[in-house]
C-alpha cells in the first residue's frame, strides 16, 4: 500500500521516476560485433583455404544470438547479472578482435601463413589434435605439480627459519641473495649433469624457480612481525613453538602469498624451457616440436591452453588467499 501511495505522490509532484533500460546496450553491441565477425568469416573468400571455417562462423553466429537474447533479458534480471554487465565491454572487444583477426589473416592475407593463423585455424587444431594436447597437458601438470609444491614447501620452511633464527639467517641469507637473482634456467647444464633423468632435473628447476621468491618473502614477512605480539604472547606463557606457528606464520601469510604468486609465474616460464630439453611430452615439448615444423597454429593453440591454465591457477590462489586471510579484511 505504501508503494502505491509513494508512486501516486511521485506522479502528482512531478518527480522523475527512474526508467529501466529496455535493452542491455553493451550486449546489443557485442551481438552486433559477433554477428559482423561471423559474416566476415563465412561471406568473404579466404586467401588460403583453412579448416573449420564454417564451424567457426556457426560458433560466432550462435554467440551473437545468445548475446542478443541476453541484451533483452539482462535489464529484467536485476542484480543477479551484475558480473555479466561488468564484462560487457570485453564481449564487445572480443567480437571486434575476431573480426579484425579474421580480416588480417584469412581474408586479406596481410599476416601471412604459416607465421600467423586465423581463429578457425586454432579451432581446427583443437578439433584434430585434441588428444595429443590433453596428453601434453597431463605430462606438464604432473611435472609442474611435483616441482611447484615441493619448491614452495621448502621455500616456506626455509623462509620461516631465515626470518626467525638470526644464526640461520647469518649463513642462509647471503646464499639466498647470491642464488636468487640468477635465473633458474641458467642452472640447466648443472642440473642435467647432476640428476639421473631430465624429469628429475626439470622438477628441480621448477622447484628452484618457485621456492626462491617464497623463501625471500616469507623471511621478510616473519622478520616484519610486530615485536609487541611476541612480548604479549611470552607474557602469557607462550613457547617458541607457539610463537612460530600461532604468531609469526599467520602474520607473514600476506607476504607468503605474494611469493607464491611470483613463484607461479616463474615456474611456468622455467617449465616450458625445461620441457624443451629432452622431454618426450608436455606443452613445452609440444611448442618446440611444432615450431620445428612451422606449425604455428598448433603453437598458438598450445600457448592459449597454457595461458588459460595459468589464469585458472592464479584464480584458485586468489580464492585460497581470501579464505585464509579473511580475518584481515578491513586491516589490509
Same-domain pairing of 50 and 145: no
52, 74, 108: which is the final residue of a domain? 108
Residue 143 has pLDDT above 50, yes or no: yes
How far is Cα 140 from Cα 199, in angstroms, rounded to an integer? 11
Which of these, 141, 150, 121, 159, lies nearest to 244 by C-alpha position? Answer: 159
Which of these, 96, 145, 137, 141, lies nearest to 119 by C-alpha position? Answer: 96
Question: CB neighbours of 231 closer than 8 A, spacing ≥ 6?
Answer: none
**C-alpha grid cell for residue 78?**
536485476
Same-domain pairing of 259 and 293: yes
pLDDT at 35: 95
Any idea what DSSP says for residue 239? -
Same-domain pairing of 44 and 95: yes
Is 6 within the bounds of a domain? no
Tell me the average pLDDT of the chain: 83
Is 57 within the bounds of a domain? yes
Same-domain pairing of 277 and 143: yes
Q: What is the pLDDT of residues 66-120, one digit of tens each?
A: 999 998 888 887 777 788 888 889 999 999 999 999 999 989 889 888 788 899 9
Of 43-47, 78-82, 222-226, minimum mean pLDDT range:
78-82
The CATH number of the domain where 222 resides is what?
Answer: 1.10.3720.10
The neighbour count for residue 45, using CB atoms within 10 Å, is 7
Same-domain pairing of 135 and 214: yes
Is 124 within the bounds of a domain? no
How far is Cα 261 from Cα 257, in angstroms, rounded to an integer? 6
Same-domain pairing of 198 and 81: no
Which of these, 298, 313, 297, 273, lies nearest to 132 by C-alpha position? Answer: 298
pLDDT-derived band of residue 328, with 50, 70 and 90 as boundaries? low
Same-domain pairing of 26 and 88: yes
How far is Cα 121 from Cα 298, in angstroms, rounded to an integer? 9
Number of domains composing the chain: 2
Same-domain pairing of 69 and 189: no
Same-domain pairing of 103 and 146: no
Same-domain pairing of 160 and 92: no
Residue 237 has pLDDT above 80, yes or no: no
What global pTM score does this model have?
A: 0.80
Is 215 within the bounds of a domain? yes
What's the average model confidence in pLDDT over 196-210? 85
**C-alpha grid cell for residue 105?**
589473416
129 compared with 185, residue with greater pLDDT: 129
92 is in which domain, residue-wise? 19-108
pLDDT at 12: 43
| DSSP H helices in the chain | 2-13, 25-43, 53-77, 82-86, 88-102, 119-128, 130-164, 166-179, 188-194, 198-223, 227-235, 240-242, 249-275, 283-292, 296-324
Same-domain pairing of 63 and 148: no
Radius of gyration of the chain (CA): 27
Amino acid at each position: 500500500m505504501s508503494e502505491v501511495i509513494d508512486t501516486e505522490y511521485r506522479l502528482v509532484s512531478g518527480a522523475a521516476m527512474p526508467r529501466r533500460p529496455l535493452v542491455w546496450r553493451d550486449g546489443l553491441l557485442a551481438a552486433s560485433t559477433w554477428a559482423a565477425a561471423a559474416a566476415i568469416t563465412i561471406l568473404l573468400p579466404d586467401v588460403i583455404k583453412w579448416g573449420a571455417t564454417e564451424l567457426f562462423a556457426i560458433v560466432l553466429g550462435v554467440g551473437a544470438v545468445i548475446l542478443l537474447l541476453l541484451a533483452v533479458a539482462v535489464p529484467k534480471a536485476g542484480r543477479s547479472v551484475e558480473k555479466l554487465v561488468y564484462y560487457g565491454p570485453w564481449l564487445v572487444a572480443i567480437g571486434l578482435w575476431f573480426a579484425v583477426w579474421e580480416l588480417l589473416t584469412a581474408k586479406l592475407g596481410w599476416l601471412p601463413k604459416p607465421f600467423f593463423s586465423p581463429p578457425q585455424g586454432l579451432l581446427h587444431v583443437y578439433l584434430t589434435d585434441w588428444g595429443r594436447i590433453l596428453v601434453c597437458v597431463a605430462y606438464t601438470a604432473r611435472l609442474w605439480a611435483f616441482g611447484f609444491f615441493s619448491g614452495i614447501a621448502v621455500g616456506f620452511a626455509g623462509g620461516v627459519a631465515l626470518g626467525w633464527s638470526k644464526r640461520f639467517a647469518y649463513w642462509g641469507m647471503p646464499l639466498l641473495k647470491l642464488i636468487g637473482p640468477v635465473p633458474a634456467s641458467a642452472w640447466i647444464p648443472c642440473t642435467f649433469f647432476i640428476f639421473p633423468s631430465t624429469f628429475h632435473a626439470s622438477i628441480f628447476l621448477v622447484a628452484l624457480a618457485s621456492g626462491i621468491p617464497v623463501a625471500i618473502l616469507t623471511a621478510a614477512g616473519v622478520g616484519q612481525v610486530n615485536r609487541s605480539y611476541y612480548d604479549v604472547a611470552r607474557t602469557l606463557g607462550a613457547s617458541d613453538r607457539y610463537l612460530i606457528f600461532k604468531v609469526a606464520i599467520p602474520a607473514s601469510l600476506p607476504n607468503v602469498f605474494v611469493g607464491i604468486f611470483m613463484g607461479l609465474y616463474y615456474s611456468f616460464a622455467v617449465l616450458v624451457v625445461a620441457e624443451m630439453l629432452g622431454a618426450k611430452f608436455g606443452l613445452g615439448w609440444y611448442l618446440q616440436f611444432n615450431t620445428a615444423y612451422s606449425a604455428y597454429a598448433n603453437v598458438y593453440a598450445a600457448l592459449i591452453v597454457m595461458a588459460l591454465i595459468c589464469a585458472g591457477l592464479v584464480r584458485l590462489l586468489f580464492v585460497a588467499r581470501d579464505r585464509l586471510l579473511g580475518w584481515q579484511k578491513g586491516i589490509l
